[in-house]
Amino acid sequence: AQSVAQPEDQVKVAEGNPLTVKCTYSVSGNPYLFWYVQYPNRGLQFLLKYITGDNLVKGSYGFEAEFNKSQTSFHLKKPSALVSDSALYFCAVRAVTQAGKSTFGDGTTLTVKP
Amino acid sequence: DAGVIQSPRHEVTEMGQEVTLRCKPISGHNSLFWYRQTMMRGLELLIYFNNNVPIDDSGMPEDRFSAKMPNASFSTLKIQPSEPRDSAVYFCASSLGSWRGAGELFFGEGSRLTVL
Mutate to test the interface with B, among A44, A103, A109 (most CBs of B within 10 A): A44
Do the beta carbons of residue A21 and residue A5 sit within 8 Å? no
CB pairs under 8 A between A and B: 53
B108 touches chain A (CB under 8 A): yes
Q: Which residues of A touch B48 (CB under 8 A)?
A: 100-101
At residue B98, the pLDDT reads 64
Q: Which residues of B touch A41 (CB under 8 A)?
A: 109-110
Spans of chain B below 50 pLDDT = none
At residue A99, the pLDDT reads 66
Q: Which residues of A touch B55 (CB under 8 A)?
A: 100
For A52, counting Cβ atoms within 10 Å of its Cβ (0-12 exposed, 13-18 middle, 19+ buried), the class is exposed
User: Do B106 and A46 lie within an 8 Å CB cutoff?
Assistant: yes
Q: Which residues of B touch A100 (CB under 8 A)?
A: 31, 33, 48, 50, 55-56, 99-100
Q: B32, B46, B22: which is closest to A104 by C-alpha? A: B46
**How do the pLDDT tens digits run along chain A, 114 residues long?**
889 999 999 999 999 999 999 999 999 888 999 999 999 989 999 999 999 888 999 999 999 999 999 999 999 999 999 999 999 999 999 988 776 778 999 999 999 999
